[in-house]
Amino acid sequence: MHHSGLFVEPACEHNNCPDKMGCSSPKPGERTHPCAFQGSQSVLMPIINTAHLVHGTASCLQNGWGMLRAQSPGGSLSKLVFSMGLTEEDLMLGSEKKLLQMIGHIVRRHHPPCVFVYATCATLFTMEDLNAVCEKAEQAWGIPVIAVHNPGFAGGQNIGSRYAGEALFEKVIGTTTDVEDKECTPFDINLIGEYPFSQEMKEIEGLLSETGIRVVTRIGGDCSFDELRAAHFAKVNMLVGGRSMLNLARHMQDSFGIPFCEGSFCGSNEIRFSLRQLAYYFQDAELDDRLQRYMRKEEARVRKEISLTCKPLKGKKVVLFTEGAESWLYISALYELGLRIAAIGTHSNAREDVSRIKERIKDDTLIITEIDEKSILELYEGRKADLMIVSGRSAYVPLKEKIPFLDIDGERLKLYSGYAGLRRMAEDLMNILEQPIWQMVRRRSPWEV
């Protein structure tokens, strides 16, 4: 199955640029960032009780498990991922028969509603027909067996998310018609997110439910297989925190007539913009009035709390050293809390991320793309910053240099979406800046004086 068309997305204005595609491609030897296979897993793994079979070596499964560990929502199968564990003999002689047997073993023992079979780099080397094996397994067991074509060297995590979106659209979404009218409301939407935003969708759903907007399913987040099958009954799709599954939103618009918009819920300004977009698509006076009352009440409460408790944050300088959507997601929230963003250093960012940064920053903020560790430290000292905000592997940089930092990625337990998330962010930033440990670790030892 050839998916070269995924590298050119008609709905993304950055894919028409002749010099560079919208999604950043990995450079030779660069494997410190997630590959396409891991991107597909991050979208499909949170689906409750579906089975996930990695058609590759054991190392592929182990490589992605750390990133996905915190995403398991709680279903019995959601904490299990199966691997073929291909050996040298399998790679040389082929493993289609072994794959069919493994799918049968999973179905007999665990009875999942669906099995996802992930292609890897090894699958392409063996030249196996994954589609044919999955079709044979479907006929034998009577459940969907879906091949996800995402070899690791196809690109980065964004491309992997697009592969997963293609698989969901072709095989899952729209495959049910038995939804009763009473289960639908006039204000049904789907949230389409990605890692690392998938864990925050529950928080966003709670915020929307207070305004009367119902979330049918969270694509890329905690959801059930039946919810995904009925996702085409929603009235609007909202892409949350990134565009990696823009292809899925476009397909659903073309096939089911569901319009889509983009939104973010980090900071009052972002929440207001996102809710206004939803109000525009629903065109309901009662909903408009309810949204306006809700936003006025929550914004007034947040402003009061910030003015009373966040005075130490006002005027503090922060440097961002992040990658992906984290480079722009929290800019509005930081300004709202009174911080000044001295500089933003990014690496492995798509063109769309850079454009979103430029839309949100103020004139005195410096942006440097493809920056390295030494340069960001020089920038931090030169700009006399008080705090560094990092994500992913960048977290080790301020840790080694004994610089106060907030890691907004990884296994953080506190989420920063919604009005409650803004308060949590303020608390975390206050705690970091007021910690005495940063003065202690940078103090000279007695024998150095």
Domain boundaries defined on the chain? 4-171, 181-305, 313-441
Per-residue confidence band for 414, with pLDDT thresholds at 50, 70 and 90: low
Per-residue confidence band for 2, with pLDDT thresholds at 50, 70 and 90: very low
> What's the whole-model pTM score?
0.86
Share of the chain above pLDDT 70, in %: 84
Per-residue confidence band for 21, with pLDDT thresholds at 50, 70 and 90: very low
Average model confidence (pLDDT) across the chain: 83
Span 354-376, pLDDT tens digits: 888 988 998 789 999 888 888 99
Which DSSP string do the residues of 220-265 spell out, in sequence order?
A: TSSEEHHHHHTGGG-SEEEEES--TTHHHHHHHHHHH---EEEE--
Return the higher-pLDDT residue of 296 and 158. 296
Span 227-250, pLDDT tens digits: 999 999 999 999 998 788 899 999
CATH classification of 4-171, choosing from 3.10.20.740, 3.40.50.1980, 3.40.640.10, 3.40.50.720? 3.40.50.1980
Span 239-286, pLDDT tens digits: 998 788 899 999 999 999 999 999 999 999 999 999 999 999 999 999
CATH classification of 313-441, choosing from 3.40.50.261, 3.40.50.620, 3.40.50.1100, 3.40.50.1980? 3.40.50.1980
State which H helix or E strand residue 190 sits in. strand 188-192
As a whole number, mean pLDDT of residues 99-110 equals: 92
- Which residue's structure tokens are 């030897």? 29
Query: Which residues are bridge partners to 319 per DSSP?
Result: 343, 388
Return the higher-pLDDT residue of 174 and 157. 174
Specify the 3-state DSSP secondary structure of 378.
Answer: helix
pLDDT at 412 over 70: no
What pLDDT is attached to residue 355? 85
- Asked which of 58-72, 183-197, 327-341 is least confident by mean pLDDT, the reply is 58-72
Domains 181-305 and 313-441 share a fold: yes
DSSP strand pairing (145-148 vs 188-192): unpaired
- Asked which of 88-92, 135-139, 282-286 is least confident by mean pLDDT, the reply is 88-92
Give the distance between the most distant pair of CA atoms in the chain.
Answer: 77
pLDDT at 443 over 70: yes
What pLDDT is attached to residue 322? 87
Share of the chain above pLDDT 90, in %: 43
Per-residue confidence band for 449, with pLDDT thresholds at 50, 70 and 90: low
What pLDDT is attached to residue 446? 79
pLDDT at 433 over 60: yes
Query: Are the C-beta atoms of 14 and 44 separated by less than 8 Å?
Result: no
Query: Are the C-beta atoms of 45 and 68 separated by less than 8 Å?
Result: yes
As a whole number, mean pLDDT of residues 378-389 equals: 92
CA distance 140 to 160: 29
Span 184-219, pLDDT tens digits: 888 999 999 876 666 788 889 999 999 999 999 999
Residues, the chain, total? 449
Provide the token pair at 364.
């005195």
pLDDT at 343 over 80: yes
Query: Are the C-beta atoms of 98 and 32 separated by less than 8 Å?
Result: no
pLDDT at 126 over 90: no
Domain 181-305 = CATH 3.30.2040.10: no
Query: Are the C-beta atoms of 245 and 219 separated by less than 8 Å?
Result: yes
